[in-house]
Amino acid sequence: MADVTTAQDVVTYRESVAEGIAREMRRDPTVVCLGEDIGAAGGVFKTTVGLFDEFGPERVWDTPISEQAIVGAAMGAAMTGMRPVAEIMFSDFLACCWDYLANEIPKVRYMTGGQVTVPLVIRTANGGGLGFGAQHSQSVENWALTVPGLKIAAPSTPADVVGLMASAVRSDDPVVFFEHKGLFASKGAPAPDGHVVPFGEAAVLRQGTDVTLVALASTVPMALTAADRLAAEGVEAEVLDLRCLIPLDVTAVLRSVERTSRLVVVEENPYQGGWGATVVSVVADEGFELLDAPVKRVAGANVPLPFADALEDQVIPTVDKVVDTVRSLATY
């Protein structure tokens, strides 16, 4: 009998955010949530729907419109035995609480000689492609990447949202959890019961022999679509979803490049200082002899992101840009 797919076989990325948090709140009574409009309203992106109804105001806290208050309160709660999951509505607004995120939270464990940990998660909606403009569209994983002491997760599928959320909440170190706005409506298989994705384990989503496409979050489905188009031209691309930036699965990247001998990194960060530059530098240091062609990066342009869709498409990665870049390497 042929398999029959039903609505229950798929869930959205946004639903999986709430599900991942709920699973951890059921498992551990010290887990609490805080942020703007995350309670009865269910979050501005509807990523916390149902949490307030299930856990109540004692564990789901609506906050004032103050990123410093949200992250500062989360830091204090984490230092005194709780495991807060704090939401910063747009990742652009991490700049408003950057002292806590860069100078306070990641330093506590080291400066106390391990006597005090800060087990918190800062969730935030990240990235462009939706015409939200220059102050609400940035992809800022590279900001956090510059700060020693932070872990960084950026899932691309509903199941990985749940699995990485489990690892994030259970971590004794602070985690910045980037949820891409452009993926919220995307659908995929639901996470199985007890699903945990360990940090620092990239996933090979498509095997290939001609070129490695390293991607993260929204650029993962982009890379997969590009790989399908390239396959029609006889070019077999391997697609690697990093899933995390810290810890970074360097081994998976090098193993893939060993198979394909070519590397293209697809990132939404600006080309100047993007996370892809770190990946490329590691490959140059540790895997230069594996390469048969120059390494290429498909990245965002170094400009403020425009509102207009036609203009925004010019300055962020697209499938066409990935395909054109790979074609330039295929005959090198």
The catalytic residue positions are 136
170, exposed or middle or buried, with CB in 10 Å at 0-12, 13-18, 19+? middle
30-42 burial, b for 16+ CB within 10 Å, e for fewer? Answer: ebbbbbbbbbeeb
193, exposed or middle or buried, with CB in 10 Å at 0-12, 13-18, 19+? exposed
Q: How far apart are CA 194 and CA 208, in angstroms?
A: 31
Q: How far apart are CA 199 and CA 98, in angstroms?
A: 24
Q: How far apart are CA 86 and CA 229, in angstroms?
A: 40
Note whether 59 and 31 are within 8 A (CB): yes
- Angle between the 250-260 and 275-286 helix axes, to the nearest 10 degrees? 60
The identity of residue 22, as a single letter, is A
Beta-strand ranges (E) seen in the chain are: 11-12, 31-35, 60-62, 83-90, 121-126, 151-153, 175-180, 187-188, 203-206, 211-215, 237-241, 244-246, 263-270, 296-300
Q: How far apart are CA 94 and CA 114, in angstroms?
A: 26
- The alpha carbon of residue 196 and the mean position of all alpha carbons in its chain are separated, in whole angstroms, by 16
- Say whether 200 sits in a helix, a strand or coil: coil
The two three-digit tokens of residue 190, written as one number = 């639901």
- Give the contacts of 154 (CB within 8 A, at least 6 positions apart): 126, 141, 177, 178, 180, 216, 217, 242, 243, 244, 245
For the chain, the first-to-last Cα distance in angstroms comes to 48
